Structures are given as structure tokens and as C-alpha cells.
Amino acid sequence: MKNKELKILLSAPRGFCAGVERAIEIVEKSIQKFGAPVYVRHEIVHNKYVVDDLKNKGAIFVEELEEIKDKSRPVIFSAHGVPKKIPEDAKNYKMTYVDATCPLVSKVHREAENLNKAGYHIILIGHQNHPEVIGTMGQLNEGSIDLIQNEVDAANYKNKEDKKLAYITQTTLSVDDTKEIIKILKTNFPNIKEPMKEDICYATTNRQMAVKNIAKNCDMFFVIGSRNSSNSVRLVEVAKKSGCENSQLIHSESSIPYDQIKNCNTIGISSGASAPEILVENFINDLKNKFSISIDEVEIIKEDVVFKVPNKLN
């Protein structure tokens, strides 16, 4: 089997985005500054490898502040953002907190608040129960934001309160899917207000474009990332829609489908924005044990975005 030649098209950009790098750095710097343990509310980013690594360094992950026994220890809010109530609760508990919300998610939060103040009723395009959506909807009083998940929701949406409408979106959606949803909303509500600048983040857009660029030339496509990572799951969908039907997510419990790969000449690889590069390297090394491999990295755009960590950690 080893002699079988396999060409890998390696999608670039892939992997960590600036928001994820900043969130991980915030946890590491908090441990350096405050000592261990520091608490993190919700997985800092959706990746088991990252979470386990930070646990080993002294982070304890909880879902809610109530679970934290020692309230004198600092707590960090995940990159996905939190409802307004959470920092308020932390203050009531007299807890030190560090907010690792991605600046691009914070931008959507501010957008929602400004639209609300200006008298708009807000539609959020996103996935129910995703922490980012919970955080964005939790910026305003209940009922101020309606969630639309797909084209059917968009087509059936009624402007019950007869208010001015505006829409915002989750930052990690499929660029193409949201395009269709927005088209329906604009047809039904011609005066709907759109964001000044698209809410889907640069990293999501770039990773999806990079996958689109190579998927049609691949017999199989693999996205390294977690099952609860919205942007990773979207990359699999993008690869399928772009011409590689046989696309799949490789997560922490996946076994590599060597039987299928041995029938391929070319495979594509990308990774979600919360997946560290070492997971891509490990995957390629596993393939090297079975096949003769050539790698062609196909980069469509150079990323140079960096987000600073909060001053209190420097």
C-alpha cells in the first residue's frame, strides 16, 4: 500500500484565526499572571486538543459561574462571547474576569445594541444554541432579536411588531448560505437594514474561499476540526457544494478512512479556525505511513490580522 502515490492539496489559509490565537493567549497569560487555577466559562475555543492542553497548564472549564467553588479565582469568558448578564453576575460575585470574546463578535454585539437604540427590531441569522448566538441574543432584552436559521425560516418570517427591521449574522456561517437567506429577507422586506460591513468574519470567508478553490480537484476532502465547531462543519459543507461530494470532518475520535483514501489520487485538507496546526501535521504523518505523498500548499490570500490581549494581562 505504501507505494500508492497520493497528492495532497493543502488549503491555505487554514487553522487558527486571530480571535482564537488571542483567546488562547489570554488563558495562558492569565495563568502566568494569577497562577493556577483560572476558570474558563465554556470551552475557550471549540477544540478538544486546545482545551486539554490548557487544562494541563492550569485552566478549569465550567459551563456556568455557579460551578466555580473558589470565587476568588479569575474567570475567563470564551471567544464566542457571553450574554450581558454573565459579566454582571461575575461582578455580583466580586470575581475578577477577563473577556476573551473575539473582537469581531464584540463588533456584532455593539451593532445589535446600536440598532436596538435606533428603534430597529433585529433578525439574527445563525444556529440555535451555538454559544455565539446565545451571547449575541443575550445582549438585549428578550424578544428584541429573532433568530433565523435557514431559508425556510426567512421565507416564513413575519414582522409582527411592524417595526423597522435590521439583520445581523453569526460570524462563522457559510458565506453562500447566508447569501440566500439575505436575498429572501431583502425580497420580503425591501427596507431591511444591513450591516455596514459584513458580519461573517474574514477568517471564515478566507477559509471557505480557499476550500472552494481546491475542492473540485479532489477525490476526497478532509477538514480537521471539532464537531461542535461551527466554522469547521461549514467547511465540510463548502467542500461538498464545491464539487467534492466525499468530504468529511476529522475530529478527536475519528478513525482515518484509509480504505477510501487508497482509491484516491488527490485529497484536499483544511482545518477549522480553532484547530491547531499540529493536528494537520499529525494527520499528514499518519498518511505518510501508508502512502507516498506529495504536498502542494495552495494559498489564496495572506492573513496578517492580529488582535491584542487586554491591557490588564500585559
Cα distance between residue 241 and residue 264, in whole Å: 19
* Catalytic residue, candidates 132, 180, 194, 277: 132
Helix axes 48-57, 18-34, angle to 10 degrees: 20
Q: Is 88 a catalytic residue?
A: no
Question: Helix or strand or coil: residue 243?
Answer: coil
Contact 239, 268 (CB under 8 A): yes
Nearest 5°: the CA angle 51, 56, 59 is 65
**H-only helix segments in 138-201:** 151-156, 175-188
> Which residues, listed in sequence order, are joined to residue 148 by a DSSP beta bridge?
125
Place of cell 460575585: 93
DSSP state of 40: E
Q: Quote the crossing angle between the two packed helices 18-34 and 103-117, to the nearest 10°.
A: 100
Cα 174 → chain centroid: 11
Residues sharing a CB contact under 8 Å with residue 214, sequence separation 6 or more, in sequence order: 9, 11, 268, 298
Q: Which three cell numbers stand for residue 146?
A: 429573532
* Cα distance between residue 199 and residue 184, in whole Å: 18
User: What type of residue sits at position 182?
Assistant: I
Q: How many Cβ atoms sit within 10 Å of the Cβ of residue 1?
A: 9
Q: Is the torsion defined by CA of 132, 201, 275, 75 positive or negative? A: negative
DSSP bridge pairs for 61: 40
Looking at the annotation, which residues are catalytic? 132
